[in-house]
Structure 1
């Protein structure tokens, strides 16, 4: 092949040959003009670059539109520059720190000097932002020397950019310009500012420069932007809906959990309703695991420091772990991960190829040190329980075991009505980030991709997103209002068998290394529960609801019949309460509705005489009077089928 020709591989696996130096825009045009019009940037071999940048080497290429993560990243990166340009016009003395895209939008840290801005000022900044966007200025990239970059910002008195430039290598520094605004930036950016049609500046916050409490506090302006005004309106509606579903609010109202300062920040306490919910989730997964050949284990909450040094979790993740505890001249740590304990379980006896695959599972509590400002309800905590499992298998068994874990994970999210996007997270060319032999990595990545193809999965590939010990499959779920959450993961590990010297005796009577699959559908019971609360807005399906039925006697005369009904429900394992208070029936109904109890059984004199119940369904009202045995049969069937709530 001539040096002037390069081969680019598209996401569908097809390859095309192009002249060396072709741009991403030209590649998009060669596929379709519609794609070219929608293109915001391209990702080549894991790096996102501008559409007009030349491509000189073979590799994988993805054309990034708004519908892709890399496309949004590019769009919001450019929007951060537009925000800075608008601020520069309105506040000429402002000095700019950093302005990155984030998961949902962007921010810019700005030193406003002696001026101060408030939430009320954001509207005029938005208006100036849109004015600048309508100019349709192109984002122009320019290479600059380190001396030129330093001189540029020293002349403007911007000590923040000077500080950043000091850490950069000469020959790697670029400026981007749009209109009258210039910024230190490596890119990428969208073709021109006119693509941005809608903006909402959402919040103001203080941010110390480089996170150093001893440095100056800057003003951080958060925002989000869209290529259409309608998208912004939909986003704002989603935010309003999200407020109603906030698990911190509903968790308190429904008695799911509490955070108590005397116990400790970030250490949730599961209340009775939350404990019922969590145990139901655990039982669901435990039953599935049992049927699929998993063996459950329990490991301690602390471990010898040497265990985590062997695994590499210490000191590699030292900043997120609690300090070691000295005991009897040895050092122990609060458990940051379950996997090292499982590896020691594997190695405590000689294993044969006939013992494999060995599937060890645990609901194991681990502890991580999170900054106090990052703690949030159940979603970001310092102590949490993982639904961890580690599968030890031969190389020949690997593909089949990956299929089993994918099948289980998909089944879990299907049960909760959560659509799944699948991402194959592979290594990039930075060898320093990864352990193990490259040949084993290539084999594992090939096998993961073959599994995805054989299972006809719709997936994307993300170079550079692999764990340090192996490639992985990430499951990104979408909740009821369209938000995405990365939850389940399946990771292939060739590193830990080496670190822990794990072996099995093969059919040739020689010792071999097993392969390890790390697997956790829920990920964290705490975080998954927070998502589940918001997904269902607290209106759980009956099988999951902490309280499934509440019996409401109209008067004290029906208390005995109410208790009789409750006992029959309990005999079937149904979670039921009786509201036997001397209150008006209307008040009892309102309280049950507020508590989001799926079924209310109203029993008066006629129901007690006829052995019937008048049934109310949460959010639906009266659904009729039923013979009690018929209601019990229908309810049991609904619970056993794990039926999802009907949409309103």
Structure 2
């Protein structure tokens, strides 16, 4: 019998008969504890089940069930066990769609006349626990596509048949455990006994293939972990996230509303939210002025031909709204601001001496999001980008990227975000422009990151169609990542729009264009801010910095006078002189997350002072209105420096 040489990374090689399963090899290659925690292995860049027979010399990399990849495999297997439990409980009345692992968990989509609800979770979880104890093996098999079609026809699983009909392969892999069989690449845990710590979380409607014209399915979400403590930590985080949900806090704090009569995904900013937004916009404009940017304003629609020239109709049409006819010419709402900034550039001739040209705009754009994807401020159909475009010479590219990174990190830190992950996204499969331009752009981004000393990950193929990019994903108080900042280098649009400048040689040259957003969508960024601070904004961002309140009606007039004086001194203050008990007023101000409560009784009125209470319940020494204004203004200046 032929033998093969197999080893663990950096370990001693051992001989095994060809065809020996991975699990048998690990008995000799790994210690008992490590072997018990190994859920799969990687070999030649591929993940393999422990049941996989090995027929060639290999170096194996064990995948621990406690690693990110191991937990992902565990969750995928738990999704399959959930599907088996559903089939066991409800039989052929349920048709199965797809069920992947996702970040933080898994889901499966089911077609059932009566949609599932959380009321069904107890029975499904109980059945899942029974199946886990039964140690049901996950068995992989391969069959021809034609055989698989016949197989799923017999099972009467129409969704699997549709998937198979679109596959351009000769052979497919399936996994079975008990009576449940699914199309799947794997890998999976060896058997169901690995699945011990899981929880079903919620249900949602989901259109098949994301198409609103197709069947509405029920999606059951769940999660799984290797350890109970990890599940408990996750559930605690979920509860904290629920408390911080920007949709709930947005309503409680009177920041924004979404009305069906207006349309889903379209935000109505209420007075307090509009003030918060103005504070952010004013800070943004001031920072850009300091960094030699000039402000632009551009329209919301343009001739459809503009989007043909830019390439958006070829590469982005599914995210654009339908065209409209105006004076026998077709127009479309803008999904991007960049072609308008190019229009401003082309209004005048330019010389190499003018560069770099830095233009910025808080430009509102419109992009089609499916109804099921809309989510408060995070996913909307109309939003404002903190957009900027820099036009520069090739010799200025690296320095401009470096300057953008500096400004970017400074602004994020001011808003309270000093933890982030940086990604360098490279050329996608579908792109425009020359390989030379792509290489030059990618290298400039890479060198700027390295000179700045920023650790980054390469995200292969995730660049936009016109160029590579840097993405910065900020982390909030719960450690969740949010995509906000992006820096993109573009040779394509200057070429498409025939942009030129006169060089020092007297000849015409093409500028380089940098697309850049620091906060991304203002709507999304404000949603992240709400959840990051749980609605208790730092003083400089608080729409209402202070609320003055009287103890009895005798102090109402004095409260009015102080209210006017403090407003004149730049404090954002409201007054509450209602005939209510003081504790009631304090409680209402705390619910509105007001940083300072200014309490006025008879003594304060007579002495011309204020009792200052913080939203956490602490009291500061009594002070005059002017001293309080100095305190507020000084704290804000320090935060925004």
- For 1:468, the equivalent position in structure 2 comes to 465
Aligned position for 2:508: 511
Q: Name structure 1 gaps, 5 residues minimum.
A: 1-9, 11-22
Is 2:275–2:543's contact at 8 Å kept on the other side of the alignment? yes
**How far apart in 2 are the matches of 1:605 and 1:225?**
60
- Paired residues for 1:27-46 under 5 Å: none
Shift of 1:617: 0.5
Counterpart residue number, 1:482 = 479
Q: 1:127 to 1:604 in 2, by over 3 A?
A: same
- In the TM superposition, what is the alpha-carbon distance from 1:136 to its structure 2 partner? 6.8
Residue number in structure 1 paired with 2:632: 635
Q: Does 1:262 align with 2:261?
A: yes
Task: Report if aligned partners of 1:238, 1:481 keep a CA contact under 8 Å in 2.
Answer: yes
Give the 3-state SS of the residue equivalent to 2:539 in structure 1. coil
Measured in 2, the distance between the counterparts of 1:325 and 1:227 equals: 54
Partner of residue 585, structure 2: 588
Contact 2:571 2:629 in 1 (8 A): no
Structure 2 CA distance for partners of 1:90 and 1:585, relative to 1, 3 Å: closer
Partner in structure 2 of residue 354 of structure 1: 353
Q: Would you say 1:228 and 2:233 are equivalent positions?
A: no
User: What's the TM-score once normalised by structure 1's chain length?
Assistant: 0.85
In structure 2, the partner of 1:403 is 402
- Report the alpha carbon displacement of residue 527 of structure 1 after superposing the two structures with TM: 1.3
> How far, CA to CA, are the matches of 1:132 and 1:208 in structure 2?
29
2:569 matches 1:572: yes
In 2, the alpha carbon distance for the partners of 1:387 and 1:160 equals 42
Counterparts of 2:638 and 2:35, CA distance in 1: 47
Q: Which residue of 2 aligns with 1:492?
A: 489
Structure 2 distance, partners of 1:526, 1:400, is 30
Q: Quickly say closer, same or farther: Cα 1:516–1:259, change in 2 above 3 A.
A: same
Pair 1:295-2:294 in alignment: yes
Alignment of 1:167-178 (within 5 A): 167-171=166-170, 173-177=172-176
CA shift, 1:586, in A, is 2.9
Question: Is 1:554 matched up with 2:551?
Answer: yes
CA contact (8 A) 1:419 1:479 kept: no
Mean Cα deviation higher: 153-162 or 255-264? 255-264
Whole-Å Cα distance in 2 between the matches of residues 639 and 82 of structure 1?
54
TM-score, normalised relative to structure 2: 0.86
Q: Could you give the per-residue CA deviations for residues 543-597 of structure 1, whole angstroms, max 9, x where no partner exists?
A: 1010111122333433343334333322332211222334333333222222221
Q: 1:124 to 1:302 in 2, by over 3 A?
A: same
Residue 351 of structure 1 aligns to a residue whose secondary structure is coil
Contact 1:542 1:643 survives alignment (8 Å): no
The 3-state SS of whatever aligns with 2:479 is coil
2: distance between equivalents of 1:192 and 1:182?
14
Q: Tell me, what secondary structure is at the counterpart of 1:300?
A: coil
Give the structure 2 partner of residue 381 of structure 1.
380
Equivalent residue number for residue 283 of structure 2 = 284
The 5 Å alignment of 1:52-451 reads: 74-93=73-92, 94-112=94-112, 117-133=116-132, 141-171=140-170, 173-177=172-176, 181-187=180-186, 189=188, 196-211=195-210, 216-427=215-426, 431=429, 433-451=430-448
Residues 38, 62 of structure 2: 8 Å contact kept: no
Question: Aligned partners of 2:298, 2:359: CA distance in 1, in Å?
Answer: 11
Distance 2:391 2:607 in 1: 59
Distance change >3 Å, CA 271–CA 121, structure 1 → 2:
closer
- Aligned-partner SS, 2:613: strand
Q: Name stretches of at least 5 consecutive residues in structure 2 with no aligned partner.
A: 1-8, 10-20
Instruction: Call closer, same or farther: CA 1:135–1:462 in 2, change over 3 Å.
Output: farther
Evaluate the alpha carbon distance shift between residue 641 and residue 37 of structure 1 in structure 2; reply closer, same or farther with a 3 A threshold. Answer: farther
Q: Within 2, Cα distance between the matches of 1:149 and 1:394?
A: 57
What CA distance in whole angstroms lies between the structure 1 residues aligned with 2:508 and 2:190? Answer: 57
State the SS of the aligned residue for 2:322.
Answer: coil
In 2, are the aligned partners of 1:91 and 1:112 still within 8 Å (CA)? Answer: no
Q: Distance in 1 between matches of 2:419 and 2:559?
A: 43
Contact kept in structure 2, 1:119 and 1:203, CA below 8 Å:
yes
- In structure 2, the partner of 1:5 is none
C-alpha change, 1:405 and 1:179, in structure 2 (3 Å) is farther
- Residue 608, structure 1, aligned to residue 620, structure 2: no
**1:310-369 C-alpha deviation (Å, 9 max, x unpaired):** 112225332322221211111111221111111221222222222222111100111123
Q: Distance in 1 between matches of 2:163 and 2:394?
A: 46
Aligned-pair distance for 1:126? 2.3
CA RMSD of aligned residues (A): 3.6
For the 8 Å contact 1:24–1:63, the answer to whether it is kept is no
Does structure 1 retain, via aligned residues, the 8 Å contact 2:386–2:521?
Answer: yes
How many matched pairs? 613
Q: Cα 1:442–1:130, aligned 2, differ >3 Å: closer, same or farther?
A: farther
CA distance in 1, matches of 2:608, 2:281: 35
Distance of 2:146 and 2:81 partners within structure 1: 26
Bigger drift between 379-388 and 201-210 goes to: 201-210
2:499 alignment counterpart: 502
Between 1:144-153 and 1:626-635, the stretch displaced more is: 626-635
User: Structure 1 residue 498: deviation in Å?
Assistant: 1.8
Q: 1:263 to 1:180 in 2, by over 3 A?
A: closer
CA contact (8 A) 1:130 1:198 kept: no
